[in-house]
Amino acid sequence: MADTDADRNRVFRLAERPTGTPDEDVFDLSEEPVPEPGPGEALVRTLYLSVDPYMRGRMRAGESYAEAWDVGDPLRARVVGEVVESNGAGFAEGDLVTGNLQWADYATAPGPELSAIDPDLAPISTYLGVLGMPGNTAYFGVQEVTRPKAGETFVVTGAAGAVGSTAGQIAKLNGARVVGFTGSDEKVEFVEEELGFDAGINYKTTDDYRAALDEAAPDGVDAYFDNVGGEITDAVFTRLNVDARVGVCGQISLYNATEVPTGPRKLMGLIESRATVEGFLISDFSERFDQSVPQLGEWVATGELQYRETVTEGLENAPDAFLGLFEGENIGKQLVKVADYEA
């Protein structure tokens, strides 16, 4: 476990823009003075930080749904931390907060950009996972975009990940048959045995995705929550039922691609299925987190919603944790534990 020290601040900056799959050379770790909070700001000590697939998009200069980082910029992440100093930010020393901060031991932020979290309601790490951005993405992607109903079939890719594992369980709570694509037998067992999915498909050992779908989803697909894209999505598109809903949440299979494969994709079938394909971004729903978070919290408290976290120890290992997302090393939410929290 890495120590944090009140006199030094380790900060990860973007060393270079990656081409294709990123490696360690993308990250530069420097030691800098602990920043001083300006008027209206708080100084926050990082306890946990989140690494997320969308950060790959921020490393490229071109188009992405999140603003690009420049070479030399500190990398930013959703963080759970402890306020160590407040300069009129509206928080007290020792308050636990979440916010968009840095891959660093310490960072400052204006008070309005931080939200208080309650450690008595749920473990603090969950505010980056099942009760945080991924949980909310799953919630709105299921309840507002793909809208599976009782008796329908719901398919999710990235099924054992932070978003996918939650999305599949919410669809199950709605009464749907739930099928998940994921990348190992251990993950298939996780989604079937621990999360209660009706079927898991290991896409790395399955040659024929359409045949696998015919077995796991014999009545076709009514709702498709896509985290991955590529050939799995091509196969699902051929099995969409009339009036199916497709929610495009992520396309991780393409994030490291230097050229996005084009060609005749599987859109022809949409004419017959009259399916709706809708991309969505969780930030568009942020005003409604006061509805979703209590519901997610209640399901977690009752045990109706299970969650798993993969925790990498030490800020210095954050690049490994991030790169592991593209190798499928995580089950559930991938986090980095930066410092111990003592209540």
- Interface residue list for ligand NAP (CB under 6 A): 52-54, 134, 137, 158, 160-164, 182-184, 187, 227-228, 249-250, 252-253, 280-282, 325-326, 328, 330, 334
* Cα gap 166→307, rounded to integer Å: 7
* Smallest gap from residue 183 Cβ to ligand NAP (A): 3
> Closest CB to ligand NAP among 265 and 274?
265
Shorter beta-carbon distance to ligand NAP: residue 228 or 244: 228
Whether 295 contacts 301, CB under 8 Å: no
Collapsing DSSP to helix, strand or coil, 74 comes out as strand
Q: How far is the CB of 212 from ligand NAP (least distance, A)?
A: 14
Q: Cα angle at 177 between 171 and 183, to 5 degrees?
A: 80
Q: 203: which residues sit within 8 A by CB, 6+ positions away? A: 157, 181, 182, 183, 209, 232
**Residue 89: other Cβ atoms inside 10 A:** 25
Bridging pattern class, strands 96-102 and 27-32: unpaired
Residue 27 or 225: the one with the smaller Cβ distance to ligand NAP is 225
Quick check: helix, strand or coil at residue 63? Answer: coil
CA distance 116 to 83: 10
Closer of 46 and 182 to ligand NAP (Cβ): 182
Smallest gap from Cβ 33 to ligand NAP, in A, equals 32
Shortest distance, position 307 Cβ to ligand NAP, whole Å: 11
Q: What 8-state DSSP symbol labels residue 7?
A: T
C-alpha 69/C-alpha 306 separation (Å) is: 34
Q: Give the residue with the Cβ less far from ligand NAP, 22 or 161.
A: 161
Token output for 307: 């969650």
Specify the residue, 64 or 241, whose C-beta has the smaller distance to ligand NAP: 64
Q: Smallest distance, Å, CB 39 to ligand NAP?
A: 33
CA distances from 256 to 67, 162, 196 (A): 17, 20, 32
Cβ 234 to ligand NAP shortest distance, Å = 13
Least distance between ligand NAP and beta carbon 51 (Å):
9
User: Residue 297 phi/psi, 5° resolution?
Assistant: -60, -40
Residue 131 contacts residue 200 (beta carbons within 8 Å): no
Residue with smaller CB distance to ligand NAP, 11 or 335: 335
